[in-house]
Structure 1
């Protein structure tokens, strides 16, 4: 692959987007999903390069389609102004989202990054049966009118009311239920709640987990839901952490078999504000600041991939294979924000700790993902060693430590390895590896591996082979 062929354009100049509103959406969404999986204004090959949507995320088996509509709220009586705005901002977005989802389902290989349809998506759409599509309508322009209509210190966000569907919306100002008549779930975020949701759930796993659980929760046949805004629904979600800090969920609903009729779940107005004012929430926000070092590591490698200057350790030596790059970085980006904090701390410790000898390593297994190990390593560079030779030595050493972790840890199915110089070096580069462990090792195989690693100076006498 030549440098020109290897130059991918999905990370466009600036933030992407055709309007100020789309640019802002792109900025927030790229912060959560990072550049590798984020595409502004993708196109189809219909009608000479028709725009598919305003923003597209393809992350593993999940696809998120965003439509952005900034519509000025009409003047005049609310019974006329609201239906006009709703049809322009919400219903039109919902219809476009449904059309985009249908196109993806039917023609997954006909989506491009440019209007000329010369640059296909750098990673493929997940196959049927595995892909999960989420629709997000971003609406702007209703905030001030909403605040005046409800009064009493309204936050200005649109009310969630799942008892209404289709044209019912036109008789219920500033309330959103099922724009597409319960056929398809559409997340509707306004100018206030877009910021709150994408700033609070600013990793791929966190946001996708919320979208999936929200869809299941609000789609329940045993209840209707009334929340004074998406922010209060989010507060209900965050206030119900799962055991072992393994994410969040909504409180369980009553057993449908025990109910004589559908129940109504009503959220408390102002829950989001009250949550943000708690000391626990403030401590949590402060504690996760180091986690963004993990994001920066992923984004730094992405810039090298775009420039075609990134290498990756692969058993097939496909150092310019976009699929190999995507697999290892997506494994890193799968970590929720809370656990990025832990892995980022471990990585920073390795980069900054003083040590004797020529190399230092650490193996980390996060509690929510016991089948994956992270091997973090630094190797000092002797001043008299050519840098390319040093990189080869470092890559070989990283592979050795990954092999050793496989022998030392039970139940590991994959290993992500990251190697670099220490942070006080004049220049710092990284090597990455994603090692999938499918084959079973016999007792003799393990003994031979240990012997080889001991000879290479990697296996320590204090280590035990499981």
Structure 2
């Protein structure tokens, strides 16, 4: 983490890394003429989240002058920094991290940008200002909403899904927070199956007790319980990040990403509910040797298929080759699946050479006769799915 961060910036970046993992969280990235672009940039898949942090102590003057002074310093300046970063990003194809590593940005025509101001110091003595602040919607978090947003929306897909729904709501309704903040909107969103039940509303006054009530509810306890197993998936991603950042994931000479990074992006794009399903399937696959199967196929978010495979570390070259072929066969057998990610590791138990993981990635939008013949040959000669199990039904999004 960058040494030049303030305490509040360090805190925001730490919870960002915890939520979105280290590979996609970039503290104090470098922009135009070597200057700091923003306080934190999150880039994963086609999503970019620009975060600006301002920690301004509110001074109560007894009139609106104190309010306006704090809003200008904590929110308006934050929004200005965000819009400035966005203008630079709109003309850039990559940026440089503080550690010198270059990060490729998603294609300009595909990018989805979200703006977040973390405005601290008022302790809710100033009414939260959020929405379109002049050059697009800026989501404003304070001391009370920060932990709620990053804690309950701790995958990039869940996070940007909420921001997108809020942006849509703001486009059709005026929102007034009655003493609370964006965390009360979050509670409404989660209680209504990741949506807002306000299609016809033009004015919404959001009460400040909604989020507190949600935390005390059985719904919240059920959500937390259902996600307990999902953090195995996070640890698996971080394992690959630690392993592959120093072992060829990034081709520094060309600046191009490798298939390993693309595989990790697909793993990171899995929402929390899907991570729970994937984690349970993988754990069951590892812990039930009596099933005598070498692979298992599980459907993930947006028709991404995951192939779990077991093979010894004693011959990793053969294991990687087999994993890739199994992924290719899955792509051929499931016409709706374009992307397949394979994960291979040793069986549980003793090992003479230690333990390791391998990862594979296939993205084939088109499927021709030649590939079809290859898949048929693989299946006939190797019988890959005579000892494979399938889990096709994904959890509700």
Shorter-chain TM range is: 0.7 to 0.9
Greater shift after overlay, 335-344 or 347-356? 347-356
Asked whether the 8 Å contact 1:136–1:187 carries over to 2, the reply is yes
Corresponding position of 2:270 = 335
Question: What is the aligned residue count?
Answer: 384
Corresponding position of 1:303 = 242
Asked whether the 8 Å contact 1:301–1:310 carries over to 2, the reply is no
93, 96, 102: which one aligns with 1:121: 102
Deviation at 1:434, TM superposition (A): 1.2
Distance change in 2, residues 1:174/1:219 (3 Å): same
Corresponding position of 1:189 = 141
Asked whether the 8 Å contact 1:36–1:302 carries over to 2, the reply is yes
- The 5-angstrom pairing of residues 155-304 of structure 1 reads 173-178=126-131, 180-181=133-134, 183-220=135-172, 223-228=173-178, 229-241=181-193, 248-254=194-200, 263-304=202-243
13, 17, 25: which one aligns with 2:12: 25
- The 5-angstrom pairing of residues 124-139 of structure 1 reads 124-139=104-119
Deviation at 1:372, TM superposition (A): 2.2
Greater shift after overlay, 410-419 or 397-406? 397-406
Asked whether the 8 Å contact 2:260–2:360 carries over to 1, the reply is no
Deviation at 1:51, TM superposition (A): 1.0
SS of corresponding position for 1:298: helix
Corresponding position of 1:348 = 283
SS of corresponding position for 2:204: strand
Looking at CA atoms only, which structure, 1 or 2, has the larger radius of gyration? 1
Ranges in structure 2 where 5+ consecutive residues have no aligned partner: 391-397
CA RMSD for the aligned pairs?
2.8
Corresponding position of 2:329 = 404
Asked whether the 8 Å contact 1:379–1:420 carries over to 2, the reply is yes
350, 365, 374: which one aligns with 1:438: 365
1:247-297 CA distance string (max 9 Å, x none):
x1111421xxxxxxx832223331111111112320210221211111111
Deviation at 1:35, TM superposition (A): 1.2
SS of corresponding position for 1:362: strand
Q: Distance in 2 between matches of 1:440 and 1:40?
A: 40
TM-score normalized by the length of structure 1: 0.75
Q: Distance in 1 between matches of 2:291 and 2:199?
A: 57
Corresponding position of 1:155 = none
Corresponding position of 1:452 = 378
Distance change in 2, residues 1:17/1:361 (3 Å): farther
